[in-house]
Amino acid sequence: MKKLAAILCLSVLATGAFAQGLIKFANSATTLVNVGGAPTAPGPGYYYALLSAPLGTTEPTAFVFSGLYATNTTSTTGGRLQGGSLLGVTANSTWGPATSRAFLVAGWSADQGAAFNPAWFQPGNVMGLRGTPGGAFGISGIGAGMSGGTDPITLQTFPALAVFSGTTIASGFSLVPVPEPTTMALAGLGAAALLIFRRRK
C-alpha cells in the first residue's frame, strides 16, 4: 500500500513538472500599447513577450522570459495584443499551474527581430539601446498574480490569470524609439567634453 501511494505521489509530481499555467494575454482598450503617443498600428509590426520573477520583485532587469509570446498580427484595433484567449506558460519557466509570480510585458518593433533578446534587459540597457536604430522597445508596469490550471498536488483547478486587468497590469505602456548610434556617440562626446572642461577649471 505504501509503495502504491508513493508511486501515485511521484506520478502526480512528474505530471506537474510538465504542466502549464494558463494566462490570458489579450489586453483591453484601457491597456493599449503606444508608440510616440499613438496606439501601435494593427498588422505584423510588433511583438510582445511575457517575463516573470518571484513575487515582490521590483527591478525590471531581474525578470526572465517565460517563453510566452503575443503579437498584434490578427488585431483590428491599434494597440491591442493578440496571443489567443488562453495561453500556457510551461513549468520550465518556473511558472506552472496555480503558481503566484510577478510579471511584466516587453514589446518591440518587428525590425528588432521576432525573438525576445535578453540583452535588451541588461542593467543600463533596459530601453533596448543595442537594438536596430529606428526600432522601438518598451516595458509595461509590473503585475502579480497566480496562473491558472490544475494544482498538481491538490488537483484543484484555478481560472486563467488575466495579465491585463484591474488587479494586475491595469494601464498601457509605451514603446520608445531606439536611438541612432550617432545620437548616442554625440551624447557620449558631449558628456566627455563636460568632464574635460570641469577638470580644467
pLDDT digits 0-9 by tens, 13-49 = 333 344 588 999 888 889 999 988 899 988 888 999 9
**How many structural domains are present in the chain?**
1
Domain that holds residue 153: 2-200
Contacts of 127 (CB under 8 A, 6+ apart): 137, 138, 176, 178
pLDDT band at 73 (very low <50, low <70, confident <90, very high): confident
Note whether 105 and 98 are within 8 A (CB): no
Give the residue among 166, 110, 174 at the shortest CA–CA distance from 143. Answer: 166
Q: Is the pLDDT of residue 199 over 70?
A: no
Could you please report the per-residue DSSP string of 50-63?
Answer: EEEESTT---GGG-
- The more confident residue out of 141 and 130 is 141
Stretch 71-81: mean pLDDT? 83
- pTM of structure: 0.77
Dihedral class, residue 59 (left if φ above 0, else alpha if ψ from -120 to 50, else beta): beta
